[in-house]
Structure 1
Amino acid sequence: MNANFPEPHIHLPKDPHTHTAILLHGRGSNGPEFAEELFSSSTSAGQNLPSHLPTWRWVFPTSKDRWNDRFQEELCAWFDACSLDDITERQESQVPGLRESVSYVLEVLGKELELLNGKTTHVYLGGISQGMATAMWSWFCASSKVQGRLGGVLGFCGWMPFAERFEDGDLDRGRRLVEFCSEALGVSAGEDMRFLSTPVLLVHGTDDPIVSVELGRQVIGIMKRAGMEVEWLEYVGADGDGHWIKAPEGFDAILRFLQSGNDRVKR
């Protein structure tokens, strides 16, 4: 594993391993902290996600510490984001961190695929806030690791870097997204685009004061225009002043999405 990044936090399955979820934390957090917060919330059945899914392995990578000019301190962050009020401000400064972090996430993804004997539909990728942004770009650059689609991509209270580039014009069923992100990060874009058929679940609070719900709606609009299979959930009143997944509704939606993976594979 990449020595420049801390070892991922792993929550092991209680029963024989069948699926893996790789989930990325937001800026200023880390893998263990995100795992603790995520698993402290419950579905409407009163259980957390691992209790519902005992055969799942949960992987929580941690980003590197990076100097943040806005806050004048080092923060645990996947890339440098100058402003969340205007995500296009100094946007090019995001690219070096994205290049490094996406490379690392794809390394983690490759390892988890090996553990599941290459069963791509049994691996899920996602994240919250800046972690969602990084997970999205990692997915768009995943053709070197994924032959076929993933089980699913999840995003919570986040956005997509350079989203404004894709609000107009033909997206060629997502190929334009892949080509732009791959070129920006200096990775090769494969010809096999089956991984873009991966289903997507995005959830976002309308009262989120950190990442505006409009940025989440922007991502949904782009994905629908690209013909992707995407589910969108808005809510109000989540913990963390709205910048979090609302319990139990949000966790019920996540559980349904994860459990429905086997049904999607059979169709």
Structure 2
Amino acid sequence: MHFPEPHIQHPKGEHTQTAVFLHGRGSDGAEFAEDLFSSVNSQGQTLPESLPNMRWVFPNSGSRWHARFEEEIPAWFDAYSLDRIEERQESQVEGLQESVFYILNLLSQEIQQLGGKSHHLYLGGISQGMAIALWSLICGPVKLQSPLGGVLGFCGWLPFAGQVEDLLKGYDDTLSGAEASNKQRQTSKLLLGVIAESNTPKLSDNADISVLSTPVFLSHGTDDNLVSVELGRQATQVLQSLGVSVERSEFTGAEADGHWIKEPEGFDQITWFLQNQIEKNL
């Protein structure tokens, strides 16, 4: 799969942090950036104005064949049905494999540009972009050996969440220490196994899984007509069962039939989350 070069918006000030944000199905990096940056928070500021030292990277998925629409569309993977997300789930595997490892490699490159400061790097996505962001976090231990500054997701879901829930039924939610780490490691192995090919990196039993301590912020419209809020709630529950720190927000009345970020409240939350994590990681 060929991934076109990302769309990049450079910081207004000194570059000290980077955000990698992933578009949804049918969009691309430049369009997502334009839509995201045309909205303001309650102070009347856009995200680049609120975060002048942030470099914004918007990767492009490229186009892939959609089995239901029978045409090529911009997408990170082929989700046959958003109403019944597990229908023809096997069709998602190839795109997940290609896109997750592309994003993990991109994150590694961005961390190098930040002088190895992974906690100055933020990953986010909307809809399918959120799905890839969450998979990249859980599969992250094969490429990333330290936490990111944060992960943000909007109006999305976690592919193969049902399989993860089945795995987690065998673990006590109150586990701590080595037992909790083993639960996280086995979940990472499960998702890596779904997209495994001969060249897929393996996760050892003593692999560093500290990336899973990355804080997460998720938001979703309860009136989202494209991706059900229940799928977003399921993603939150899975992450929390893994011991991931998740803040969650729900809202109504956003544009695009609820499948977008509520303005200005949602942009207040994004600004607050990023500024708060930046301050913690100075």
When the two structures are superposed, what TM-score results if normalisation uses the length of structure 1? 0.95
Which residue of 29, 33, 57 corresponds with 2:31?
33
1:261 is displaced (CA, Å) by 1.0
3-state DSSP of counterpart to 1:79:
coil
Residue 174 of structure 1: which of 155, 176, 184 is its match?
Answer: 184
- Aligned equivalents of 1:54 and 1:122: distance in 2? 14
**2-side partners of 1:227 and 1:102: how far apart?**
22
Secondary structure at the counterpart of residue 257 of structure 2 = helix
User: Does the aligned pair in 1 maintain the 2:77–2:99 contact within 8 Å?
Assistant: yes
Unmatched segments (≥5 aa) in structure 1: none
User: 1:185 is matched with which residue?
Assistant: 195
- Three-state SS of the structure 2 residue aligned to 1:58 is strand
Q: How much does 1:183 deviate?
A: 1.9
1:3-50 deviations in whole A, cap 9, x for unaligned? 811100000011111000001000000000000000000000001100
Match of 2:257 among 241, 247, 257: 241
1:82/1:90 contact within 8 Å kept: yes
Is the contact made by 2:164 and 2:190 (CA closer than 8 Å) also made in structure 1?
Answer: no
SS at match of 2:218: strand
| 1:161-215 alpha-carbon deviations (Å, 9 max, x no partner) | 0001122412845323211112222332251111100000000000000000000
Instruction: Give the C-alpha shift of residue 155 in structure 1.
Output: 0.5
Larger deviation: 34-43 or 221-230? Answer: 221-230
Q: Distance between the aligned counterparts of 1:251 and 1:188, measured in 2? A: 38
Query: In the comparison of the two structures, how many residue pairs are matched?
Result: 264
Q: Which amino acid aligns with 1:65?
A: S
Which runs of structure 2 are paired with 1:44-55 in the superposition (5 Å)?
44-55=42-53
Q: Does 1:11 align with 2:9?
A: yes
Q: Which residue of 1 aligns with 2:124?
A: 126
Match of 1:192, as an amino acid? D
Residues in 1 aligned to 2:127 and 2:145: alpha-carbon distance in whole angstroms: 27
1:196 aligns with 2:215: no
CA spacing shift, 1:15–1:263, aligned 2, 3 Å: closer
Aligned to 2:276: 260
Aligned residue for 2:225? 209
Q: CA deviation at 1:264?
A: 3.3
Deviates more, 1:89-98 or 1:143-152: 143-152
Q: Which moved more, 1:139-148 or 1:73-82?
A: 139-148
| In the alignment, structure 1 residue 223 sits paired with structure 2 residue 239 | yes
Q: 2:87 aligns with which of 83, 86, 89?
A: 89
SS at match of 2:219: strand
Let me know the Cα RMSD of the aligned residues: 1.4
> Using the alignment, how far apart are the partners of 1:68 and 1:113 within structure 2?
33
**Matched residue, 1:147:** 145
Give structure 1 regions of 4+ aligned residues with deviation exceeding 4 angstroms: none
Whole-angstrom CA distance in 1 between matches of 2:188 and 2:280: 23
Q: Distance in 1 between matches of 2:203 and 2:39?
A: 38
Give the one of 71, 74, 77 matched to 2:75: 77
Cα distance, 1:143 vs. partner?
Answer: 1.8
Report the counterpart of residue 105 of structure 1 in structure 2: 103
Question: Partners of 2:154 and 2:68 in 1: how far apart?
Answer: 24
Letter in 2 for 1:194: S
Q: Tell me the amino acid that sits aligned with residue 25 of structure 2.
A: R
Q: CA contact under 8 A between 2:164 and 2:187: conserved in structure 1?
A: yes
Return the offset for 1:126: 1.4
